Amino acid sequence: MTYAMKLAAPLFLATLTTAQVAQAGSATGTMNVSGNVQGSCTVSAVALNFGAITPGSVTDAEGSIGAACKTGTTYTITIDGGSSLVDTNRRLAEAESENYLEYIIAFDESRAVDSYIPANGALVSNAVAASSEAVNYSVYGRVLAEENSAGVVGTYSDTLGITITY
């Protein structure tokens, strides 16, 4: 090794060491990470079937509406007025004529007036799903005696729309 190389070697090593130290250092920061699990629900129903309606007698029926929502989802179930609604009265329509039987639906088995569910009224409001398992809500129907006293022979039906809002 020449004398010049011997003198240059320590200078070269000092430069390398200085360069490495000059690049040493760090900075820290943060990055936010987030996500959102959206609520979702499905709705199902068991028919409200009055069966044989005896003229002049009260005829009751029971059905149910099921709601299956993701855990923690807040939901409301509403029931519309049906396909034969007139004013605020739900009606069963006879398919072959223009005969109708008015009926009510309620959320309580007593079918007391204060438990009636009006057209576009809520069966349940602001319920919170405790699990993703379906919850069934009973719906009680009644054709009142005075409404079916003049019922014409035939098959009567109606279709109710059920909406679950979440």
Contact yes or no for 126/76 (Cβ under 8 A)? yes
* pTM of the predicted model as reported, rounded to 2 decimal places: 0.77
- Residue 8's pLDDT band, with cuts at 50, 70 and 90, is low
Average pLDDT over the chain, rounded to an integer: 87
The predicted structure's pLDDT at residue 12: 52
Q: What is the mean pLDDT of residues 30-54?
A: 92
How far is Cα 96 from Cα 36, in angstroms, rounded to an integer? 52
- pLDDT (tens digit, 9 = 90+) per residue, 120-161? 999 999 999 999 999 999 999 999 877 766 668 889 999 999
Residue ranges of domains in the chain, CATH in brackets: 43-165 (2.60.40.1090)
Question: Left (φ > 0), alpha (ψ -120 to 50) or beta: where does 30 sit?
Answer: beta
